[in-house]
């Protein structure tokens, strides 16, 4: 490991690292070793109030595009310098294999940040429509509440466009993977971002997240996480009629129509389902295969899954690390154990112990999954793939659309017109 500080005692408010109002701390557990990696402050309502006041004071709706672009360029430069360390921290705090941490977990956020900066240069903040002049103005103070599965990406996807729009931010990271977010905020400080533009308050969601969502000084709430928690955030924000953006769970279908390149569709689908250990809200966790090619597809799936090595996430050869927490591991194992009782056939994997230490789950595939069963309907958030046969394209469409989720999906066919 490189230059890491895994014991954090202060919050970032109004451009300074300050002591929290309370004394509570949150332990961050390394899911590969089950050992305490570090701690972060467990903030209080008073800390949220101070952060919102700082963001409110720093908000300047008249700040021009050139200055916003300068801020973004400085942030991107500072962030890029810290990416190797941030990648190691992500691996340590939530178990992403180091190669995933060095690419998807860090390089994708960098590209996203650059994309927002480039978009800002050509964005029309004023537009003449008929006899009207439409102006687009900064919304105000943004409360950003982020999950643990892609800790840097989710923060970048909220903070960078907020800065580009001229907004200020109060940021709450997850309890499971907050340490990489502290390192990102240090990059903001390195970049010379003015005090109050971005503020960081860690702590329990029921305290920090709820206070942010209901706070009268917050104008916009951006939340990524579970559907249940998102519903609560929306309820609290609605009391003061805030604008709310919720990115919630998924149970996306990978539909492989008859005539598609089956080998490619299956291999890509398996890779998508198991990316980040299946801890991806947009993962294609249901694979829909025509009955006429079902047996062939299962053979390809089994061969593809065999290449997904489970192990130490710091080993470059590891493709699947541990679940991010004990609670998540137990949730995933519960889905696996109940699936057989619902009539699904275990093709590979299962609930057996993978390693003596660590919150590991074997990459698991169930065949003959009932589309209306728990496994066919609910988000697992682990390396578990449900394979479902279908009769024809109408049947496939009905199955694909037959869940409460609508986040992502894929269709493979012989040609675009068929898809």
- Give the count of beta carbons closer than 10 Å to the beta carbon of residue 39: 18
Residues 6 or more apart whose CB falls under 8 angstroms from that of 63 comprise 138, 166
The partner residues of 286 in beta bridges, in order of sequence, read 253, 386
Give the number of other CB atoms < 10 A from CB of residue 61.
10
Nearest to 217 by CA among 24, 50, 6: 50
For the record, the structure tokens of 52 come out as 């919102």
The residues facing 18 across adjacent strands are: 11
377, 250 Cβ separation under 8 angstroms = no
Q: Which residues of the chain have pLDDT under 50?
A: 1
| Extents of the domains making up the chain | 11-247, 253-412
Distance CA 314, CA 175 (A): 22
Helices (H) and strands (E) in the chain, counts: 13, 17
Which CATH class for the 11-247 domain? alpha beta
pLDDT (0 to 100) of residue 61? 87
Q: Give the model's pLDDT for residue 2.
A: 55
- Which pLDDT score is estimated for 4? 82
**Domain 11-247 identical in fold to domain 253-412:** no
- pTM equals 0.95
CB-based contact 149:283 (threshold 8 Å): no
Tokens found for residue 93: 């705090």
* CATH architecture of residue range(s) 253-412: 3-Layer(aba) Sandwich (3.40)
Paired with 389 in beta bridges are: 289
Of the residues 80, 247, 302, 378, only one is catalytic, namely 247
Catalytic residue at 247?
yes
């Amino acid at each position: 490991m490189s230059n890491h500080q895994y014991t954090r005692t202060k919050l970032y408010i109004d451009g300074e690292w300050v002591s929290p109002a309370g004394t509570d701390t949150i332990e961050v557990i390394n899911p590969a070793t089950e050992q305490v990696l570090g701690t972060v402050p467990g903030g209080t309502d008073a800390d949220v109030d101070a952060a919102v006041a700082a963001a409110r004071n720093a908000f300047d709706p008249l700040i021009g595009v050139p200055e916003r672009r300068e801020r973004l360029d400085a942030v991107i430069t500072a962030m890029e310098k810290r990416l190797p360390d941030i990648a190691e921290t992500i691996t340590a705090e939530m178990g992403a294999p180091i190669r995933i941490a060095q690419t998807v977990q860090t390089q994708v956020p960098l590209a996203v940040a650059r994309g927002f900066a480039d978009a800002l240069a050509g964005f029309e903040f004023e537009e003449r429509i008929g006899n009207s002049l439409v102006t687009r103005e900064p919304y105000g103070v943004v409360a950003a509440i982020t999950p643990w599965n892609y800790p840097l990406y989710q923060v970048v996807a909220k903070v960078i466009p907020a800065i580009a729009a001229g907004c200020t931010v109060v940021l709450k990271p997850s309890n499971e993977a907050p340490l990489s977010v502290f390192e990102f905020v240090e990059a903001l400080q390195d970049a010379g971002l003015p005090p109050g533009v971005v503020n960081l308050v860690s702590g329990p969601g029921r305290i920090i997240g709820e206070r942010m969502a209901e706070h009268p000084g917050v104008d916009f709430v951006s939340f990524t996480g579970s559907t249940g928690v998102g519903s609560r955030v929306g309820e609290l924000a609605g009391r003061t009629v805030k604008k709310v953006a919720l990115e919630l769970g998924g149970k996306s279908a990978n539909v492989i129509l008859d005539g598609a390149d089956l080998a490619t569709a299956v291999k890509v689908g398996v890779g998508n389902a198991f990316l980040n250990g299946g801890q991806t809200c947009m993962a294609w966790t249901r694979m829909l295969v025509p009955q006429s090619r079902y047996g062939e597809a299962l053979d390809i799936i089994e061969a593809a899954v065999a290449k997904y090595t489970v192990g130490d996430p710091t080993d470059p050869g590891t493709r699947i690390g541990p679940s991010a927490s004990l609670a998540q591991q137990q949730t995933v194992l519960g889905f696996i154990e109940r699936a057989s009782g619902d009539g699904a056939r275990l093709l590979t994997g299962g609930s057996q112990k993978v390693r003596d230490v660590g919150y590991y789950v074997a990459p698991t595939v169930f065949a003959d999954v009932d589309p209306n069963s728990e496994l066919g309907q609910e988000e697992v958030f682990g390396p578990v793939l449900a394979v479902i046969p279908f009769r024809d394209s109408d049947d496939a469409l009905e199955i694909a659309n037959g869940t409460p989720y609508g986040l992502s999906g894929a269709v493979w066919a012989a040609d675009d017109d068929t898809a």
